[in-house]
């Protein structure tokens, strides 16, 4: 059937479907970026713009990935009943410090961002210093510039946050150090892994941890990232 010479109900070709899919993905990505950029503008920080800063403690450089969405921690903490005032929150590989800022809105004993790349540390420190209109409830928040395996783990109960910060070899070493810290000072230690579904089968085999919960959080309209919560048990 045609109307004014224009075919009606003509089947879509594979090429047109591919173009529509690409357009939809582009629009969704722009919507996601705009939400996070608007939040950055309100708070007077820059946690959205990407940078490429090689991580020198790995054989393959890691580019700075898009940060975890601002509201993610609130979703994640629904699955953990924490007396925040007893815990230290530690973002391993904190990048520009978005999750450090987000965690500071909870009444943690302390919030720490650990980052190896000097340029990202400076950006995170700048964001902490100039952030506005964000109700901070933590006693203190700071950035520690060091190699993840050299970070001195606090003796307090801890919540460790990992958003795909480095390769599995380094990740396993860091987790092993955390578990060793538990043996030295038995206490509550939780590990949060976001967007690490590809290495989850390896993570779950590491002894001394118990999986508490698995779910996902939205990063855009159609993009969800995995969330896995573990408790260090030492057994």
Q: What is the CATH number of the domain that holds 133?
A: 3.40.50.150
pLDDT of residue 20: 73
Measured in whole angstroms, the distance separating CA 179 from the mean position of its chain's CA atoms is 21
pLDDT of residue 137: 96
Task: Note down the domain range covering 96.
Answer: 72-232
DSSP-based three-state secondary structure for 23: helix
Q: Is 14 a domain residue?
A: no
User: Strand 158-163's sheet: what is its strand order?
Assistant: 141-145, 110-115, 88-92, 158-163, 189-194, 224-232, 209-218
pLDDT of residue 156: 97
**Where is 22: in which H helix or E strand?**
helix 14-43
Q: Is 89 a domain residue?
A: yes
Q: Is 46 a domain residue?
A: no
Q: What is the mean pLDDT of each run of 10 residues along the chain (235 residues)?
A: 47 62 56 68 82 48 65 93 96 96 97 96 96 92 97 97 94 97 97 96 97 89 88 91
Q: Is 41 a domain residue?
A: no
**Closest listed residue to residue 102, CA positions, set 128, 66, 139, 63:** 128
Whether 73 and 102 have beta carbons less than 8 Å apart is answered as: yes
Measured in whole angstroms, the distance separating CA 77 from the mean position of its chain's CA atoms is 13
pLDDT of residue 23: 60
pLDDT of residue 95: 94
Q: Is 49 a domain residue?
A: no
pLDDT of residue 133: 86
Q: Is 15 a domain residue?
A: no
Q: Is 135 a domain residue?
A: yes
Q: Is 8 a domain residue?
A: no
Q: What's the number of domains the chain is made of?
A: 1
pLDDT of residue 123: 95
């Amino acid at each position: 059937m045609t109307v004014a010479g224009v075919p009606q109900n003509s089947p879509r070709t594979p090429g047109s479907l591919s173009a529509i899919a690409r357009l939809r993905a582009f629009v969704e990505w722009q919507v996601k970026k705009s939400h996070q950029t608007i939040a950055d503008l309100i708070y007077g920080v820059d946690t959205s713009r990407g940078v490429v800063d090689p991580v020198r403690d790995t054989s393959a450089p890691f580019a700075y990935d898009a940060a975890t969405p601002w509201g993610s921690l609130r979703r994640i903490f629904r699955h953990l009943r924490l007396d925040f005032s007893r815990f230290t929150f530690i973002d391993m590989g904190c990048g520009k410090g978005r999750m450090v800022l987000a965690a500071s809105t909870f009444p943690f004993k302390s919030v720490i961002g650990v980052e190896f790349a000097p340029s990202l540390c400076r950006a995170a420190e700048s964001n902490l210093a100039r952030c506005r209109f964000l109700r901070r409830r933590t006693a203190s928040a700071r950035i520690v510039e060091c190699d993840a395996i050299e970070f001195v783990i606090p003796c307090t109960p801890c919540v460790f946050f990992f958003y795909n910060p480095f390769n599995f070899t380094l990740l396993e070493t860091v987790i092993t150090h955390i578990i060793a810290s538990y043996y030295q000072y038995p206490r509550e230690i939780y590990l949060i892994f976001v967007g690490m579904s590809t290495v989850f089968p390896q993570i779950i085999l590491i002894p001394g941890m118990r999986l508490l919960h698995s779910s996902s959080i939205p990063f855009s309209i159609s993009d969800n990232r995995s969330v896995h919560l573990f408790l260090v048990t030492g057994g």
